[in-house]
Structure 1
Amino acid sequence: MSKLQLLKQLLPGFLPIIVFIVVDEIWGTIYGLIVAISIGLIELIIEYIRNQKIERFILFDVGLIIALGLTSIALNNDLFFMLKPGIISLIMTGLIGFSIFSKHNLMLQMSQRYLKHINMNPYQIWLMQQSMKRLFWLLLVYSLATIASSFLENTAIWKFLGSAGLFVVMGIFLAWEWWSKKRQNQQLKNEEWLPLVDDAGRIIGSAPRSHVHNHSFLLHPVVHLHVVNDKGQILLQKRPINKLIQAGKWDTAVGGHVASGESIELALQRETHEEIGLQQFNAQAIKQYIWTSEVEKELVFVFKTQHKGPFQIDTNEVDEVRFWSVDEINSQLRKGIFTPNFEYEFEHFKTMLI
């Protein structure tokens, strides 16, 4: 979508507040309210004719204008007039903060209303949230500085902050975001991208591996293979001490991410060959479940196979492997020997494994 098309999508939502600000400056708050509310009501009627429903975000737009206008009328003296730019900015900052730090992302919902033809995948939404967090803290500092400048004897700072200041702040923010995005694209140029899925396993996007493991909690698919021998013992791998997550602990025999464009079955074959050297084996699907750790969120596809070895490990991925009896595992549960993920699978799927 071009910038012109984007502007056309956004303009209906911003038009009432833009008109209010312009008319308020020229003819006063009352006229600004009348014109802005009229435009908002016209938009409301047009939206109802098109979709046969009342658009709640248009109601919110109009309600915000009424609240700001009545506040300006009620607090009609020099100090309150000077406080108005900071108060308006603080209200918008609060709206952004509520969207970021609660489960109800109003800003995302409003953007989806104005950008109906743009579909955002989970990674794009996460990037938007990170950007909004930075904008929140920047606007919070700006809003508090603008309010504080209202109490200064020298009004030069207030005149700057209350007029051109917001444009300067937004200009700095947009320039930083552009530079940061450009630098990030260079860093991610050669990085592995992983598929993102919904709860049912349908692919809905992709994201860089580093971002998936960086507390974004973007749901991505992984495969686990439990290897059991004819004695009912379970093969476990010991994770290298240099691993970022659960270093030095015993884990499922095979575990790894599904690569972009790769099926679950192919990922299982590849990871099994890479980690323990098996190429010919028959895998049986056991279960799939969502696992959330301290740094990531995974949709885990669990399989099992019967095999007694020998195994050829990749020392970059695995320190060692060995078979454990069920009694051995039971005696060491919840002592920090195993990864929490393995303990969950052992306790929930034990009857299906043995």
Structure 2
Amino acid sequence: MEKFQIEIWRWIMTHFMPLIFDIIPLLIFVILDSLGKMRYALIGAVTAAGFEIGYSYFAMGSIDSFSLIFAGTILLFASLSYYFNNSIFFRLKPAIIGGITGMIVVVTSMMGEPVLLSMADRYSTHLPENMSHTLQNQYVRDQFTNINHYMGFGLIIHSILTTWAAIYTGRWIWFFVSVPGMYVTIALCVWVGLKN
């Protein structure tokens, strides 16, 4: 059964990798904001999100919904921060998005229709043939259900920590809690879900 766990791990990390695009605009924001130029930092973050949309289009031939949602949230929270001349709105973006996502994942677990399993079924046609057959195995489906449960609570906890960091810490601590902290949270949730 360990082979299935490795394939589950690869699938989840592949489908959560679009979150990696969150690093670049936030890193640009933190660097420029450190120089005391919040408005330039916001413009830089929005520009980076725009470049990532362009990259997504040229690399894949289309723009997926994850990229659009990502760019839209960057634009929304950057606009709020720009309008109110306060970076806290932009700094709360990862916490708000993570909290909403965590609640959706928890609710789908409670309803008995885990969103990770639904995503796996939906995108199974894009997976290698051996992996799409693996998704039909009940053990693998149970693993996705376990991971979905832990992922929801992990994202909510991460959201709370990111909110705290956005309000009470400096920009670099906030950055490391919000972005690398997200990947650590996802990896831990997958690991715990696979072990239980």
TM norm structure 1: 0.37
Q: Which residue of 1 aligns with 2:123?
A: 112
Q: Deviations over 1:99-147 (max 9, x none)?
A: 5455582674279379622322343132122112112113213323443
Summarize the Cα distance change of 1:11–1:123 in structure 2 as closer, same or farther, 3 Å threshold.
closer
Pair 1:66 & 2:61 matched:
no
Opposite residue 45 of structure 2, the aligned amino acid is G
Q: Is the 8 A contact 2:42 2:78 kept in 1?
A: yes
Question: Which one scores higher on RCO, CA 8 angstroms, separation ≥ 6?
Answer: 2
Q: Which residue of 1 aligns with 2:57?
A: 44
1:177, distance to aligned residue in structure 2 (A) = 5.5
Q: Is the 8 A contact 2:105 2:114 kept in 1?
A: no
- Paired residue secondary structure (2:127): coil
* Structure 1 segment 70-85 matched on structure 2, within 5 A: 70-75=76-81, 76-85=85-94
Q: Which residue of 2 aligns with 1:237?
A: none
Q: Is the 8 A contact 1:16 1:37 kept in 2?
A: no
* Structure 2 runs not aligned, ≥5 long: 33-40
Q: Which residue of 2 aligns with 1:124?
A: 140
Opposite residue 47 of structure 2, the aligned amino acid is I
Which of 151, 172, 176 is the matching residue for 1:164?
176
Q: Deviations over 1:9-61 (max 9, x none)?
A: 5597345433323333334232332333333234235534xxxxx56xx1332
1:77, distance to aligned residue in structure 2 (A) = 0.9
Identity of aligned residues (%): 14
Opposite residue 165 of structure 1, the aligned amino acid is V
Summarize the Cα distance change of 1:26–1:93 in structure 2 as closer, same or farther, 3 Å threshold.
same
Summarize the Cα distance change of 1:105–1:17 in structure 2 as closer, same or farther, 3 Å threshold.
same
1:159, distance to aligned residue in structure 2 (A) = 6.7
Alignment partners' CA distance in 2, 1:173 and 1:11: 9
Alignment partners' CA distance in 2, 1:135 and 1:34: 30
Alignment partners' CA distance in 2, 1:148 and 1:11: 24
Alignment partners' CA distance in 2, 1:149 and 1:173: 18
Alignment partners' CA distance in 2, 1:63 and 1:169: 17
Which of 17, 25, 29 is the matching residue for 1:20?
25
Question: Which of the pair is proportionally richer in helix?
Answer: 2
Q: Which residue of 2 aligns with 1:147?
A: 163
- Paired residue secondary structure (1:141): helix
Q: Deviations over 1:143-184 (max 9, x none)?
A: 234435655xxx349975x343354575477457547745x6
Larger radius of gyration between Structure 1 and Structure 2: 1
- Paired residue secondary structure (1:22): helix
Q: Is the 8 A contact 2:53 2:68 kept in 1?
A: yes
Summarize the Cα distance change of 1:129–1:44 in structure 2 as closer, same or farther, 3 Å threshold.
farther
Opposite residue 164 of structure 1, the aligned amino acid is F
Question: Which of the pair is proportionally richer in strand?
Answer: 1
- Paired residue secondary structure (2:123): helix
1:96, distance to aligned residue in structure 2 (A) = 3.0
* Structure 1 runs not aligned, ≥5 long: 49-53, 185-354
Alignment partners' CA distance in 1, 2:94 and 2:55: 27
